[in-house]
Structure 1
Amino acid sequence: MTATLKSFATNINCGSCVRSVTPFLDELEGVTIWRVDVEDDRKLLTVEGTATEAEIMQVVEDAGYDIRPVRA
């Protein structure tokens, strides 16, 4: 499977939020690298890897955050 870059709008809005979602995203198989831009109004989460959009959304929701896909 080819690695792709996926973007999501979230409510992950501070360093503490990023720390709390970190173990969820770090443990998701197929995630190569991820980051949250808390300066962006959308609190943009970008994920690179082979994990599916649904898998990424599920772990972020499991961590207690809102997430929705951002289409290019």
Structure 2
Amino acid sequence: METLKFNSTIKCTGCLAKVTPFLDEVAGADNWEVDLKNPNKVLTVKANGLTADQITKAVKDAGYAAEQLKTNA
């Protein structure tokens, strides 16, 4: 299963609460998380066939931004 990572503008638990319904709908409740301790607020998503565009759109629809991290894999 592919895992996608994004830098995000989801900065606090309040932001997390706002974006949760959008990401739950697209990715599923147990398939994503945001590392609020990381300075880049990294969003990690188990893709399950999702594209990076679908994920960034869900985050944007919630009022935030996400930029996919490039991996060497």
RMSD (Å) for aligned C-alpha atoms = 1.0
Q: How does 1:1-72 map to 2 (within 5 A)?
A: 3-28=1-26, 31-32=27-28, 33-48=31-46, 49-72=48-71
Give the % identical residues.
37
Gaps of 5+ in 2: none
- For the residue of structure 2 that corresponds to 1:57, the secondary structure is helix
| Count of residue correspondences | 68
Output the CA distance in 2 between the equivalents of 1:52 and 1:37: 20
Output the CA distance in 2 between the equivalents of 1:66 and 1:54: 12
Q: Specify which structure has the higher proportion of strand.
A: 1
- For the residue of structure 2 that corresponds to 1:56, the secondary structure is helix
Taking structure 1 as the reference length, what is the TM-score of the superposition?
Answer: 0.88
Taking structure 2 as the reference length, what is the TM-score of the superposition?
Answer: 0.87
- For the residue of structure 2 that corresponds to 1:51, the secondary structure is coil
Deviation at 1:67, TM superposition (A): 1.0
Q: Kindly report structure 1 stretches of 4+ aligned residues shifted beyond 3 Å.
A: none
Output the CA distance in 2 between the equivalents of 1:24 and 1:15: 15
